[in-house]
Amino acid sequence: MPCLHSEALESMEPGSVSPGASPDAGAESMRRGIVNDSPMVQGTGWFFSPLWSPRSRLHSRKFGDGTTSYQEDAWLDDHSDFTRAYFLRRTSAVSCPQTEMSPLLSSFQRRSSDHSEALMKAPYRRNSSPLRSSDLNVLTLTDRRLASNLSVPEWMDHFGPDDKESHSPCSLCLPRCSRFQFSPCQPRAPVCPCSSSLPHPPQFFPPTSCGHGDGCPWMMGLLGEGLSCMGSLAELCQGTVIHVGELLGAEGGSLSLVRKHCGGRSSLEDVIALTSLGHLNEGNPYSQAHLELVKGIMGCVMATASPINLRDASEDPRFNLANDQTSKIRTVLSVPISNHRGEVLGVLLMINKRNSCDGSRSVFTNVDEKVLSNHMDVLGTVLDNVQLYEGARQEAKRSKALIEMAQVLSKEHHSLEVMLSKMAATIMPFTHAQYCTIFIPSEQTSDTEEKTLFSRVIHLECEELGSTCQIYRREHNLRNIDPSYALRTLSSMETLNMSKSSDELKRSLICCPVRNERSENVIAVCQLMNKQSRDSDEMEVFNRYDERLLEDLAVYCGLALQYAQAVQITEERRASIEVTQEVLAYHITAAEQEIQALQEATIPSAELLNILDFHFSGFGVPEDTTTQSTIRMFLDLNLVQDFNIDYKSLCQWVLTVKRGYRNNVPYHNWHHAVSTAQSMFAMLMATDQLQTIFSRLEILALMIATLNHDVDHRGVNNSFIERTHQPLAQLYGHSSLENHHYNLCVFILNNTGSQILSGLSAEEHKALLHLIKRAILATDLTVYMERRKEFFSLANKSGVSWKSEKQRDLLRSMLMTASDLSAITKPWPEQKRIASLVAMEFFAQGDKEREEFKIKPIDIMNRENSTRLPYMQVEYIDEVCYPLYKTVSRLFDSCSPLLNGCKKNRENWLQLADEQEKENNENISTDPSLHEDFKGETQTDQ
């Protein structure tokens, strides 16, 4: 309420006191807060207040005698230019007590003195002839535009001195602009101007006021405490309709709020349907035709975001009105409820204004429209805040639900049904659903009976227990559950929200499809049914918030289903792998007679087997001799004794490794494995220094690695495997063959009866497997080319201690490559024979590349270059083999036979190339650089 003491007295002009009272006495009485009976006028703005009455005691006669209808009030309200000037002149004739003016109001008056004088000089019209439209609505049009675009001080500058005083911060209602601030100033004497207990005539207020100014209980309640004092949203809307109905003297009203749908479409939902204000709790006197008319007007207001003021509804061409509509609805005023962003949140409509004098029907004026709009601005601000608060609260609940469902998904469960049941039980308290059902379709659908489309149904029921709820999982027969809505959702692949159903047991229902992220297929349907009201026993309708929660549940259900499918596929593949391994173990394991024969055989000595000689070759040696040679290597290195290897297990393991190599591969077969293992054995036995450098576990790892380094070789290299996208390439990515060799080596070591590592501790077993893997991966020539520079630099240093693991790992890698390439060091007849086997294997790969990829193979694998084999062998020795054997021989003198054999074979290949050129009578001479380069290397070695 506006202050009836200081604020009103400050609006008086200095020196204006009551007759018979001295200025000092008047000032003293003002300081004491005494209210005189003399009338007080704060400016012309009071005339525009809806509470103003022409029968006021301010005048000795009624204004406008002779005009008794309500049209007099409407005419005066609309012709603000005449009424403003008139009452400004009348103000000077009113005697008021003198008081000092506040500095703020004085500054307002000084800044707007010109505007005030212009109003004082406005022409006075004594006749009541109609005015031109350009002369009408000065305040209602101009001030509305200013109030919408200016801040508080700028807006107040457009009023006269008296207007400013009447629009002080304690008496202004909320303007249209959202930037206006509400003054915290509270009235010192909260007396209602309409109260009959006032000792003086009622005080009048500016046109944007509701009669109470800033002291309006409705506004103060909203701005002070919001919904905490107004109750629910429905109670707030009902109180709003009642307040503005009494304020405007309307017969009835309606209030609807905007609801936004999923597709961006907006519609109005009735909160307070069109109702007579005097019969809110009684039956509605308006017909369906009236309700449709009101709905159309409010829809137009929502679409245009502009007020509609129908002074005669029957004459408006925008609406087709029937006689029964116009009989009860004559005047209509509807304004939008907007937030500070200009978004329409709702629409308020009032009908049939009543004259305050005699109760006859009147028209809604522009001032009524302004007052109503200002009130709706306050309501829009409150509703916007309510929406923000409710949205934040719902998002907090939604986040909590998502976290709980994620926790359910992250834990292990015995079955998919248990996981889905826990997810459904998590969301039910948030949506207040009585039933939650998850339908899982079957893979094979039947066209004869629709109910057989769902193979599994998970059904949960919620029972409210005060502030808590108990959720039960019910086992139901498919026939007892209606899948019709789930089938509709399954076919439409869209969320289905049924507000009500014909079946009384399904008053509210919502279905949501569960999609597969990859295929976008619907793999399940989630259904919520019967939303329970927290305030009553009635069922509510699932809203957009419930839809979002159900869609979130659908996402997590989809993840759970896909996870379950992935687990099922993984388990099936694991079982398939176990079956495959079982079959492989059966076929790869040697026959019992073969194992027993090797176990009972007398193993010849290393000298008789010639395995101490660097010139030994496994090619051309009988298979019985190769297996016995392998057993002898483990025996002479004391590996059987040091690691408690069971002899029968050793025999079975050797025979199983032998069966792991493919016989149809020309070179990378069991004979190559034996030759590689023999070269490592010869270096270890010939060099005491190597057995000192390496531990016993490292020596065991080297022997196992050399024997298994090419197990199950396919006769092609890694490049071919990668280009053909074979499973090995997809499984390992790099060094595909070497990783496969290692994994098969481990498989054989773990095979029943071949467990030669059973005597090792867990730590030793783990360390040994790591050493074996590093050694087998080192046989990839790509790895060798990357690491050999480091090895050559290390070998050039004097006094290498080989104590660090990094140095020993590098040495083991180089020795593995030296053993793998040792065929180039064998005697010339054997070397020539092995080279032809290698060429046969390479040319076969080149033929596959030419046929399958339609590309030309590299020279070493191109069958068309078979005549250039000697030259390619020389290049191979110079680039790959010779630098390695030279460095190993420099470090360990006992390994020099490897270097010498490599040199002799180079000379033989070079001589063969020269002879071939002579035989072919070609004019192309041999490249002399081959001789010169190798001659320089030989001189350097000497």
The verdict on whether residue 873 carries a ligand-binding annotation is: yes
The verdict on whether residue 709 carries a ligand-binding annotation is: yes
* Cβ-based neighbour number of residue 924 at 10 Å: 7
β-partners of residue 459 are 437, 474
The verdict on whether residue 98 carries a ligand-binding annotation is: no
Structure tokens at 199: 């000792």
β-partners of residue 310 are 332
Q: Distance between CA atoms of 114 and 102, rounded to whole angstroms?
A: 20
Q: Distance between CA atoms of 332 and 248, rounded to whole angstroms?
A: 12
Contact call for residues 500 and 508 (beta carbons, < 8 A): yes
Indicate which residue of 432, 668, 713, 741 is catalytic: 668
Q: Strands 308-310, 344-353: parallel, antiparallel or unpaired by DSSP?
A: unpaired
Instruction: Compute CA 239 distance to the chain's CA centroid, rounded to the nearest angstrom.
Output: 41
Structure tokens at 519: 């295929």
In 3D space, the residue among 160, 165, 156 whose CA is nearest the CA of residue 121 turns out to be: 160
The verdict on whether residue 46 carries a ligand-binding annotation is: no
Q: Distance between CA atoms of 846 and 859, rounded to whole angstroms?
A: 9
H and E: helices and strands count for the chain: 37, 12
The verdict on whether residue 820 carries a ligand-binding annotation is: yes
Burial of residue 654 (CB within 10 Å: 0-12, 13-18, 19+) is: buried
The verdict on whether residue 672 carries a ligand-binding annotation is: yes
Q: What are the strands, taking DSSP E only, across 507-624?
A: 509-515, 522-532, 539-540
Q: Is 414 a catalytic residue?
A: no
β-partners of residue 199 are none
* Cβ-based neighbour number of residue 42 at 10 Å: 25
Burial of residue 703 (CB within 10 Å: 0-12, 13-18, 19+) is: buried
Half-sphere exposure of 303 (CA within 13 A, CB side): 6
Q: Distance between CA atoms of 419 and 426, rounded to whole angstroms?
A: 11
Contact call for residues 615 and 897 (beta carbons, < 8 A): yes
Handedness of CA 374, 375, 381, 384 (dihedral sign): negative
Q: Distance between CA atoms of 178 and 380, rounded to whole angstroms?
A: 10
Q: Strands 332-338, 308-310: parallel, antiparallel or unpaired by DSSP?
A: antiparallel
Q: Distance between CA atoms of 222 and 236, rounded to whole angstroms?
A: 9
The verdict on whether residue 261 carries a ligand-binding annotation is: no
Q: Any idea which residue has 């896909």 for tokens?
A: 562
Instruction: Compute CA 181 distance to the chain's CA centroid, rounded to the nearest angstrom.
Output: 39
Structure tokens at 77: 């309200």
Residue 441 per-residue DSSP state: E
Contact call for residues 429 and 451 (beta carbons, < 8 A): no
Sequence ranges of the binding site for AMP = 668-672, 710, 820, 873
Pick out the residues of the known binding site for Zn(2+). 672, 709-710, 820
Q: Which residues are catalytic?
A: 668
